[in-house]
Structure 1
Amino acid sequence: MGNTHPGATSPLGMVSACAYSGAYPTGYGRYAKSTEGVPEELFDRLQASGFTHFQQSGTGAIRKYYNYVRVTPMVQPLDVLGDAWPLHEEVAEPGYYAATLDTGVRCELTVGAKVAVHRYTFPECGSARVVVDLSCGGLAIELGRTVPLRAQVESMGHGRAQGTVVMEGVPLSVYLEVDSPGWRQMLWYDRRLVHGGTRLDFDSIRHTTLRPFGLMFMGPAAAGQAIEVRLGFSLRGCDQARDNLARECGQGRPAFDAVRTRTRTRWGAHLDRVQVEGGTPARRTVFGTALYHALIKPCVTDDESPFWPASGPYAFDVCTMWDIYKTQLPLLAAIAPDRAVDLLESLIRVCEEEGNFPIGYRMARGADRFFRQGSALVHTALADAHALGRAGLDWNWALVHMVDDLRRLYGEDFFEHGVVHPISHTLDLAYAHHCTAQVARALNDRRLAEDLAERSRQWANAFDPATGLLRDSEFYEGGKWNYSFRLLHDMAARIALAGGDQAFAGMLDRFFGFGAAPVVQPGRRPAVAEMAAGYALNRFEGLNNEPDMEAPWAYHYAGRPDRTAEVVHAALTWQFGTGPGGLPGNDDSGGLSSWYVWASLGLFPVAGQNLFLVNAPAFPRSVLRVGGGEFVVETSGHRETPIGADGLDRDPPVRYVQSATLDGEPLAAAYLSATTVHRGGRLHLRLGPEPSAWGRHPRPPSLSDLPPNPEEPR
């Protein structure tokens, strides 16, 4: 259910490549679409009909699934194109994927920033083929197909070809070079060769009129002969696709090993930004995999926007802000700060061009706004970037769009009435006003800042004082219990509204099931009544539910960091593993994996508040490389705790923070400013087996009760 794929990717890169079976949701694998319970099998084996480009990663019901430009090595006639063959001997590494088809062809894929390179090693065959299908798109599930609107393909001779397919309003262009000396090169349509033709044009394609089309390279192959296929991609035409290919692969020579090495080096540079010491092999494997998954999406590329002519970054597969703004964007800000700024610049440009900040944005015309999920979430990332002093953004330009966006969609009702339904959007909009006020104040627009700050206090309108929970409303993938423990900008007032520390902590205890009987998880095809009964428990669903990701840290604000330690420790221990099903739900483009990274380091970012909460880490020592320095988290009294899947101690003890120092000075508070973390330092945590008084006071900062110097708590 993690819904990731093992294909070749580059860190936050434009292109991915993977085996294609048509399964949900990435195109790789065996499973059918499932949004509740255990997925059913679509195929009874791991198989592929070829290898496609541009995959989702970790998403759920995203509706559009890419898998464009399928390349298939064949030793059979063209008539069987689309058949799938079993996969064997799979290998997956950063920037590299390989498998052997049941036909005996060894298939290797690697990618660069804007290119993909395939290498196929054939068995002896008198008529081997490499078939390129430009009509492919989507999945083999109901309503999963993506059909090109228009297309053109041109054979240019001597192992060269180019084409453009307009998918969902985006002109995706590809320029190909194929190293196949002596092979014939032909166009095909509807699985039949087009003799003598050099170009196919389709001015209008519909679901009812689509027939597959593309190119084929065919000739004899000696046993062990390798054929290299190089593909340059662009969203700005075939000429730019050709230039992209030449820039990364050179011209007319094998490039597979060079591209693979460069991408592996890029991955090493990114993954090296976070290092951990100790831990069981299983825990280290899960941590490394989580860090890798956190760096696949969003896709950020330069000078490729098909919608505006200006140069600069273009980002897609922001799927979605609701999934990534709390955990993944703060991680990118720490370990890939330049790309994080590029992402924000692109989102500002989308707002300028299309009229609002998107909640979700794919490689498609028109932002997928996902307006039911949330409102005004980009504001949190912008506020954090400004607080960290990120260069490269025109902050006056950004502020204009932040303010304008607050009045769009649900924002107009919030402006007029101070409350909006779905009620969770009231919290979103109040928080966005707070974030925007911080930027306005820093830019010396005090009147604007005061007006925004006043409206930010309307978060309280969302709560029922009689229950301390959100008012009855509709909720997206959750209920009022899930959404009631959000880390607001005024948690002191939020806790007071619930009746004080003890009452608030008691509500959290009920939510997390302290003292309650275990619940039964849904299986295949859970009935509506079964799911309704589960939701009616008003319990923590798991970290796969985005509103629940930050809930364990709400205990910090009630003076109970020991409870945070217990919940986070249980999640790290029991909800993640190394085998199939090793993620407790959709990875959501890296949001869930980013949660695991932060929790393992003993830190949690409070997005939009320039703040980190501190907790007992999963490793005895870790290093986060930020800017030009390092932020080190080290412990004494640490005890290794296995994760649930490795078959060791079944009842690992929780470790609680007993005391802490920051750069050698005592630290009484269970929080740090993000500015402190990003400039580097050394946090030492002394751990023990019993809860302590550490971290109960002072509390993390709240708008109504800010400490004198929240940046350097002692």
Structure 2
Amino acid sequence: MFIGTKNGGMAKASADCVGEAHGGFATDGSDISGFSHMHDSGTGGVSIICPFSKTISLGNFPLFPQYCPENNLTHCKFTKSQRRVPRGEYNASPGYFDITLADGIRGEATVTEHTALYRFTFPPNATSDGQTNSPVITIDLNDLANTRVGNAAVSVDSKTGRVSGNGTFRPSFGTGRYDLHFCTDFKGGKINEAAIWDRGIPDSRVRDKAFGGHLGGGAYVQFDPSRKEILVRVGLSFMNTSQACQNAESEIPSFDFPAVKRSAEVAWAKKLDVISVVPGGIDNNLKIIFWSGFYRTMISPQDYTNENPLWNSTEPYFDSFYCIWDSFRSQHPFLTLVDPIEQSRMVRALIDIYVHEGKLPDCRMSLCKGLTQGGSNADVVLADAMIKNLGGSIDWDLAYEAVVSDAEEELSSWDHSGRGGLQSWKTLNFIPIHDNDTDGYGMKTRSVSRTVEFAYNDFCIALMAEKMGRLDDATKYFSRAGNWRSLYNADQNSSINGIDTGFVGFLQPRQKDLTWAFQDPANCSPLLNMDSCYLDGGGGETYEGSCWMYTFFVPQDMASLIATLGGPVSFISRLDFLHQSGLLYMGDEQAFLTVFLYHYAGRPALSSQRAHAYIPSQFNNTDNGIPGNDDSGAMGSFVTLTMMGVFPNPGQDVYFITPPFFEEVSVVNGETGKKATIRNVNFDPEYKRIYVQEARRDGKPWTKNWIDHSFFKDGGVLELVLGDKESDWGTKDADLPPSMSTRGKR
């Protein structure tokens, strides 16, 4: 659970759990170790020994409310190892978090953009001699993953109780370090004592202290025992402590918890109200997963405009692009639908990062460069924005310069941005296994998945070049977009557990001398060595997925891939096997597009079948209702888009049409104010009728099984007449989504 006010606030306050809890709080029954103010959404797994895993991020400067045994401050729980208390009842809603701990202390949290406000309610508590115990709130100068490095400092005003300070921390999936500053004020009780603690020991004489390295430390405030409700306001800033205090004072001047909570709820409602549905009697759990998916999608990236100490700029600055390898597939296209103004600002922020750091990011968090997982997929985000005519003050010439830099200029170290192996890419038309390209240095792995991603990145650049009239460039990049063929081994078969699958022809790694290497097509799937193809998993030639799955990743030219794999009937048989055999893990974002690839083979009804198979079997309203970590709301946007009945092929002006899970769904475009409505006729809430029989756009027949972005930008009504059997709607060649090899032929 995460708390925020809108798509962009820095402050996201919640309780923190002991263990692997990437958003701070998790419904896993673990103990609570405090309350902190900033979290990232669904950032992936943790490995103690792995330098490349996504460790838990943020969670800086946690508060811990407590009664100290016998009112003795030396018995307080200061360090994280001491701060463990079982949980009681809890709940959350957009803009609000509430939990009662097993010791009876209740913690509530709400936020503004840069400030968290807590309300701690302490139950009666007496010492052994019958005296009333005093509430204590501690502040720790560390974060969730204990990544503090260098110096940290804290200052306490003994009269007002204001605690301010800062620390230097490491990011969770990248390189570098960042400084964060805080300013904490209290209201609701007379302060008995406020001072510093160091290595688990309070020192009432010390009001200012600097800490080095990983040394524990922080501050504490003890309150008069007569007051049982304490309000705590925590302002945050990446700039300096003074700005953290200014943020707090300007955003929450009066400590009015109900008013701040209402304001957060209003901000969230404004974001969510762009979509409206007519449920049509569907199960309430489906409505919950739809709206919760929408909510999670809006949490990141986060708007840090005016909180970027790295450079001066009049452009927006967004952080927690976590990671674009995940989010380009569904989250950014979803934001283009529901929040185009903010998506435009994100695109401008990406371009501004290129201006000041020399490359577009593939991943970025806490002002630091993250690791590149595959291709240069910010190229896809920029192309998607251009092709769909996203508004705002986007400098498209500069955007094009940035994507061409990815395609043509290799950094000396390319693990954190850009592409590696460009010499091989340009001369061999693929990335070879054990590439010895000396133009730059990076992890010499993922040769297969990087090849197909580079091909798609270049296709997206070609679309941009074509739209801008740069026809020579377009020709070059369209040609490179066909490089996936270089790794297609037509003779490679596949056996699983010693049984031949009957399918032949898969992507395979290849040597620089053009001879074939080998990776079992099922390797890195749930059926074989699932964990062997992460960045830290031994250097597989596919990333977080198998050759079985990556063989389907030719989103620029599915018509050519279908022909290569033996035609529509053979392709559908192979795609069915991928989904039914256990080879596919829906918890990784590369799986999303495979649900809808039946559209290219003229069988959109089968895409609808697959959508209803995965929702709600793997996406549902339970504690385990997301099959994988929700990087930047990728899982949430997959659910919401799928249930809306329009899933994108990102980087292209294509949305696959399947019947929405509601009787009707409408989206209001934030740029034009126009409403687009998709309406099911003969809707069945039990989903026996999930096949389109015929379609009408604004009253006129619509035979294509896809639609473009003009429908959402200009508004209109798409009516889908449903039946319980597959029809011939959307099955003809002229009805299929465009492919590179069929451009202009349909």
TM-score (norm 1): 0.86
1:478 Cα shift? 1.2
Contact 1:622 1:634 in 2 (8 A): yes
Match for residue 513 of structure 2? none
Instruction: Evaluate the alpha carbon distance shift between residue 662 and residue 419 of structure 1 in structure 2; reply closer, same or farther with a 3 A threshold.
Output: same
1:551 Cα shift? 0.4
Contact 2:67 2:133 in 1 (8 A): yes
Contact 1:68 1:136 in 2 (8 A): yes
- Greater mean alpha carbon deviation, residues 489-498 or residues 407-416: 407-416
> Which residues of 2 match residues 352-391 of structure 1 at below 5 A?
352-365=355-368, 367-369=369-371, 371=372, 373-389=373-389, 390-391=391-392
1:458 Cα shift? 2.1
Q: Identity of aligned pairs, percent?
A: 27
Deviations 1:286-326 (A, max 9, x none): 11111111111222221112322334322222221121111
CA distance in 2, matches of 1:673, 1:480: 31
1:633 Cα shift? 0.7
Match for residue 436 of structure 1? 461
1:131 Cα shift? 2.8
Match for residue 527 of structure 1? none
CA distance in 1, matches of 2:385, 2:421: 23
Contact 1:410 1:425 in 2 (8 A): no
Match for residue 419 of structure 1? 430
CA distance in 2, matches of 1:117, 1:309: 30
Instruction: Evaluate the alpha carbon distance shift between residue 313 and residue 221 of structure 1 in structure 2; reply closer, same or farther with a 3 A threshold.
Output: farther
Deviations 1:418-437 (A, max 9, x none): 11142121221121112112
CA distance in 1, matches of 2:347, 2:167: 28
Contact 2:5 2:268 in 1 (8 A): no
Write the letter of the residue equivalent to 2:67.
V
Match for residue 297 of structure 1? 300
3-state DSSP class of the match of 1:100?
Answer: strand
> Which residues of 2 match residues 115-126 of structure 1 at below 5 A?
115-124=115-124, 126=132
1:133 Cα shift? 2.5
Contact 2:320 2:365 in 1 (8 A): yes
Match for residue 166 of structure 2? 164
Residue 128 (str. 1) matches residue 134 (str. 2): yes
1:240 Cα shift? 1.6
Match for residue 58 of structure 1? 42
1:670 Cα shift? 0.3
Match for residue 255 of structure 2? 254
- Greater mean alpha carbon deviation, residues 226-235 or residues 18-27: 18-27
1:448 Cα shift? 2.5
1:442 Cα shift? 2.5
Write the letter of the residue equivalent to 1:67.
G
1:127 Cα shift? 4.3
Deviations 1:581-618 (A, max 9, x none): 12222222311111111111111111001111101221
CA distance in 1, matches of 2:586, 2:26: 24
Query: When the two structures are aligned, how many residues end up with a matched partner?
Result: 643
Write the letter of the residue equivalent to 1:491.
M
CA distance in 1, matches of 2:471, 2:603: 36
Residue 483 (str. 1) matches residue 528 (str. 2): no
CA distance in 1, matches of 2:304, 2:274: 21
Match for residue 646 of structure 1? none
1:166 Cα shift? 0.9
3-state DSSP class of the match of 1:69?
Answer: coil
CA distance in 2, matches of 1:463, 1:626: 41
3-state DSSP class of the match of 2:741?
Answer: coil
Residue 659 (str. 1) matches residue 691 (str. 2): no
Write the letter of the residue equivalent to 1:342.
R
Instruction: Evaluate the alpha carbon distance shift between residue 180 and residue 684 of structure 1 in structure 2; reply closer, same or farther with a 3 A threshold.
Output: same
CA distance in 2, matches of 1:100, 1:588: 28
- Greater mean alpha carbon deviation, residues 496-505 or residues 469-478: 469-478
Residue 220 (str. 1) matches residue 215 (str. 2): no
Residue 333 (str. 1) matches residue 323 (str. 2): no
Residue 277 (str. 1) matches residue 242 (str. 2): no
3-state DSSP class of the match of 1:260?
Answer: helix
Write the letter of the residue equivalent to 1:545.
D
Match for residue 473 of structure 2? 448
Residue 174 (str. 1) matches residue 182 (str. 2): yes
CA distance in 2, matches of 1:613, 1:30: 34
Residue 69 (str. 1) matches residue 61 (str. 2): yes
Contact 1:577 1:583 in 2 (8 A): yes
Residue 195 (str. 1) matches residue 204 (str. 2): yes
Contact 1:552 1:564 in 2 (8 A): yes
1:450 Cα shift? 2.6
Contact 2:374 2:453 in 1 (8 A): yes
Match for residue 444 of structure 2? none
Write the letter of the residue equivalent to 1:653.
K
Contact 1:25 1:65 in 2 (8 A): no
Match for residue 103 of structure 2? 103
CA distance in 1, matches of 2:553, 2:187: 56
Contact 2:293 2:640 in 1 (8 A): yes
CA distance in 2, matches of 1:509, 1:181: 64
Structure 2 unaligned spans of 5+: 46-53, 126-131, 171-176, 411-418, 433-446, 492-503, 510-518, 520-540
- Greater mean alpha carbon deviation, residues 380-389 or residues 689-698: 380-389
Match for residue 92 of structure 2? 92
3-state DSSP class of the match of 1:331?
Answer: helix
1:688 Cα shift? 0.3
Contact 1:424 1:462 in 2 (8 A): no
Deviations 1:122-181 (A, max 9, x none): 224544344342322224xxxxx3223211111234132311111122110111221144
CA distance in 2, matches of 1:163, 1:63: 24
Instruction: Evaluate the alpha carbon distance shift between residue 51 and residue 489 of structure 1 in structure 2; reply closer, same or farther with a 3 A threshold.
Output: same
Deviations 1:318-350 (A, max 9, x none): 221121111111111111222212222222233
CA distance in 1, matches of 2:474, 2:397: 13
> Which residues of 2 match residues 599-614 of structure 1 at below 5 A?
599-614=642-657
Structure 1 unaligned spans of 5+: 32-40, 140-144, 514-536, 642-651
Instruction: Evaluate the alpha carbon distance shift between residue 397 and residue 540 of structure 1 in structure 2; reply closer, same or farther with a 3 A threshold.
Output: same
3-state DSSP class of the match of 1:290?
Answer: helix
Residue 706 (str. 1) matches residue 743 (str. 2): yes
Match for residue 144 of structure 2? 138
Contact 2:460 2:651 in 1 (8 A): yes
Residue 587 (str. 1) matches residue 661 (str. 2): no
3-state DSSP class of the match of 2:180?
Answer: strand
CA distance in 1, matches of 2:489, 2:277: 44
Match for residue 731 of structure 2? 696
Instruction: Evaluate the alpha carbon distance shift between residue 446 and residue 459 of structure 1 in structure 2; reply closer, same or farther with a 3 A threshold.
Output: same
Instruction: Evaluate the alpha carbon distance shift between residue 191 and residue 566 of structure 1 in structure 2; reply closer, same or farther with a 3 A threshold.
Output: same
3-state DSSP class of the match of 2:195?
Answer: strand
Contact 2:322 2:631 in 1 (8 A): yes
CA distance in 1, matches of 2:645, 2:185: 48
TM-score (norm 2): 0.82
CA distance in 1, matches of 2:384, 2:41: 25
- Greater mean alpha carbon deviation, residues 289-298 or residues 147-156: 147-156
Match for residue 516 of structure 1? none
Match for residue 674 of structure 2? 629
> Which residues of 2 match residues 525-564 of structure 1 at below 5 A?
539-564=582-607
Match for residue 23 of structure 1? 19
